[in-house]
């Protein structure tokens, strides 16, 4: 019964958070200086055409009634229709989001594989030259605007050295060859056995994924260093050393194991941040993901698409946050 109550409390928390997210995105969408009617009919439309669309969208109704209608449709999976693509927003999101997901996932993998060891090494050699070097590398990745790094990366590695392919997900020559299954070009081309398309996609994703990974690495290494510094000063570490345990066992077997518990939450939130903050890197690289979809929809006044994309990213962030809490409780019995 107690466990059932906790599950009910968790579901209620998620529901209230999502409702707040819907309310926030909806009302922001209503106060920004963009007229959705003009986005549909154009500035040269007659007043009659304008009024027809205005009433069709329900904009004549009170704001609370518009919000209620929008929320009820959202519960049915109806995000409205995009004025730009003339397709349901949900269909657009299912088309564009996998590209962001594969980019952020590869970036997070790079961040974990390189960031965690870097953070451990930085903490172990505290205030020595490896620590200073790792902190400088992390500071650059954390403070330099990612769109600037993207432009520099394109100039150096694509234009000058020709080590990677340029903007876009694949070359124009390969567009339409692979029939979508998951809308992830890497997965779909591998499943279809189109290896030439697969490697071309790899060459395109390498640079933006590396930059996303660098940003993730900077954050994860910094947080890992902080957690490890705290653990390495604990009494159990001193006890293990006095008992004759080697440094490898002390650092990785004891300190990192305890630091890994809060690190799970940090990595989960970092993943949400990559999904949420991919707008700039997708814009620079012409990447057909959710970030560029939201940005282009905002410039065109496509409010339904902006609200739908914002809600999707926010909902994923909420889910990852709640998932990290569950994992934290699972790994650390003291929190249960």
| Residues 6 or more apart whose Cβ sits within 8 Å of residue 325 | 265
Q: Report pLDDT for 202.
A: 93
Q: Mean pLDDT for the chain?
A: 84
d(CA 323, CA 116): 20
The pLDDT of 258-262, averaged and rounded, is 84
Task: Answer whether residue 311 is part of any domain.
Answer: yes
Nearest Cα to Cα of residue 26 among 60, 86, 74: 74
Same domain for 314 and 177: yes
d(CA 102, CA 41): 36
Q: Which of 75, 101, 127 is the last residue of a domain?
A: 75
pLDDT at residue 117 above 90? yes
pLDDT at residue 208 above 90? yes
Number of domains in the chain: 2
Q: How confident is the model at residue 308 (pLDDT cuts 50, 70, 90)?
A: confident
Same domain for 161 and 55: no
Task: Answer whether residue 168 is part of any domain.
Answer: yes
The secondary structure element, H or E, covering residue 55 is helix 47-56
Q: Which of 41, 75, 109 is the last residue of a domain?
A: 75
The pLDDT of 239-264, averaged and rounded, is 83
Same domain for 59 and 24: yes
Same domain for 205 and 329: yes
Same domain for 295 and 168: yes
Same domain for 255 and 208: yes
Task: Answer whether residue 81 is part of any domain.
Answer: no
pTM of the model: 0.84
Q: Report pLDDT for 201.
A: 92
Which structural domain range is residue 181 located in?
A: 89-335
SS3 category, 81:
strand
pLDDT at residue 298 above 60? yes
pLDDT above 90 coverage of the chain, percent = 22
| Residues 6 or more apart whose Cβ sits within 8 Å of residue 134 | 118, 119, 121, 122, 221, 225
Structure tokens, 2 = 């107690």
């Amino acid at each position: 019964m107690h466990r059932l109550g906790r599950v009910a409390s968790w579901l209620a928390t998620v529901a209230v958070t999502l409702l707040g997210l819907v309310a926030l995105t909806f009302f922001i969408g209503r106060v920004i200086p963009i007229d959705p009617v003009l986005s549909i009919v154009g500035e040269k439309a007659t007043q009659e055409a304008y009024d027809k669309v205005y009433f069709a969208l329900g904009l004549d109704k009170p704001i609370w009634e518009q919000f209620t209608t929008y929320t009820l449709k959202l519960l049915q999976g109806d995000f409205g229709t995009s004025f730009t693509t003339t397709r349901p927003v949900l269909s657009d999101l299912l088309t564009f989001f996998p590209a962001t997901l594969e980019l952020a996932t590869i970036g997070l993998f790079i961040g974990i594989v390189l960031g965690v060891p870097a953070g451990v090494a930085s903490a172990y050699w505290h205030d020595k030259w490896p620590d200073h070097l790792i902190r400088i590398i992390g500071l650059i990745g954390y403070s330099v605007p990612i769109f600037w790094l993207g432009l520099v990366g394109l100039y150096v590695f694509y234009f000058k050295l020709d080590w990677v392919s340029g903007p876009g997900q694949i070359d124009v020559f390969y567009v339409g060859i692979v029939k979508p299954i998951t809308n992830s070009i890497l997965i779909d081309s591998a499943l279809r056995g189109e290896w030439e398309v697969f490697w071309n996609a790899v060459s395109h994703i390498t640079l933006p994924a590396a930059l996303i990974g660098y940003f993730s690495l900077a954050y994860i290494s910094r947080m890992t260093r902080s957690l490890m510094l705290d653990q390495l000063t604990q009494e159990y570490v001193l006890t293990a050393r006095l008992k004759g345990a080697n440094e490898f066992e002390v650092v990785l077997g004891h300190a990192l194991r305890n630091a890994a518990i809060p690190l799970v939450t940090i990595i989960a939130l970092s993943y949400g941040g990559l999904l949420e903050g991919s707008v700039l890197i997708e814009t620079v690289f012409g990447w057909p993901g959710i970030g560029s979809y939201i940005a282009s929809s905002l410039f065109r006044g496509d409010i339904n698409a902006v609200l739908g994309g914002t809600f999707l990213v926010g909902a994923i962030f909420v889910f990852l946050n709640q998932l990290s809490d569950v994992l934290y409780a699972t790994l650390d019995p003291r929190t249960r």
